[in-house]
């Protein structure tokens, strides 16, 4: 998930998303929390949390979270960052910035994104579960790692 913006855009995360968090082995948050309470709640409910701060996150969140985070999940090398810049040129820019990653999770735009660079870097933006902006639905992503490969990437629409 990314761009939760609690409590500015919602009082809490949607129950459907909390259920997904409870079921997940790993939760990724690509920034713009806004509220430390959401980080605390997600930390308590996640088996493992990989997270970064975003441009709307203040000093308290920045003190606890990195700007970029990396993890190896069953052989899949992931990177997480909030901003990747404009959509134009995103693949080549990210490929150059994250050459040792297999998957890059990012946020900021609130617009779901799923592309793969020529060198095989998968770029994933889950959208926002609380602030759909110009999108038809608020969203989040789930995925599975199967035999060292990211598989079953699913964009979930939240209808409230």
Locus of tokens 């993890």: 71
Confidence tier at 11 by pLDDT (50, 70, 90): confident
Domains for the chain: give ranges and CATH numbers.
15-158 (3.60.21.10)
Report pLDDT for 46. 97
Percent of the chain with pLDDT over 90: 92
Confidence tier at 160 by pLDDT (50, 70, 90): low
- Across the range 1-27, mean pLDDT stands at 93
Provide the CA 137 distance to its chain's centre, in angstroms: 16
pTM tops 0.75: yes
What mean pLDDT is reported for the chain?
Answer: 95
Report pLDDT for 104. 98
- Across the range 22-44, mean pLDDT stands at 97
The contacts of residue 104 (CB under 8 Å, 6+ apart) are 78, 79, 80, 81, 84, 94, 98, 121, 122, 123, 124
Confidence tier at 134 by pLDDT (50, 70, 90): confident
């Amino acid at each position: 998930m990314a761009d939760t913006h609690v409590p500015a855009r919602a009082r809490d995360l949607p129950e459907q998303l909390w259920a997904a968090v409870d079921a997940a082995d790993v939760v990724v948050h690509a920034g713009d929390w806004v509220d430390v309470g959401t980080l605390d709640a997600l930390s308590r409910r996640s088996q493992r949390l990989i997270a970064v701060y975003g441009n709307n996150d203040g000093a308290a969140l920045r003190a606890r979270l990195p700007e970029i985070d990396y993890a190896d999940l069953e052989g899949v090398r992931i990177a997480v960052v909030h901003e990747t810049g404009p959509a134009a040129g995103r693949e080549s820019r990210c490929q150059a910035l994250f050459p040792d990653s297999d998957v890059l999770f990012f946020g900021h735009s609130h617009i779901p994104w799923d592309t793969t660079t020529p060198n095989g870097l998968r770029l994933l933006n889950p959208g926002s579960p609380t602030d759909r902006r110009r999108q038809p639905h608020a969203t989040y992503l789930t995925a599975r790692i199967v035999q060292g490969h990211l598989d079953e990437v699913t964009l979930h629409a939240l209808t409230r």
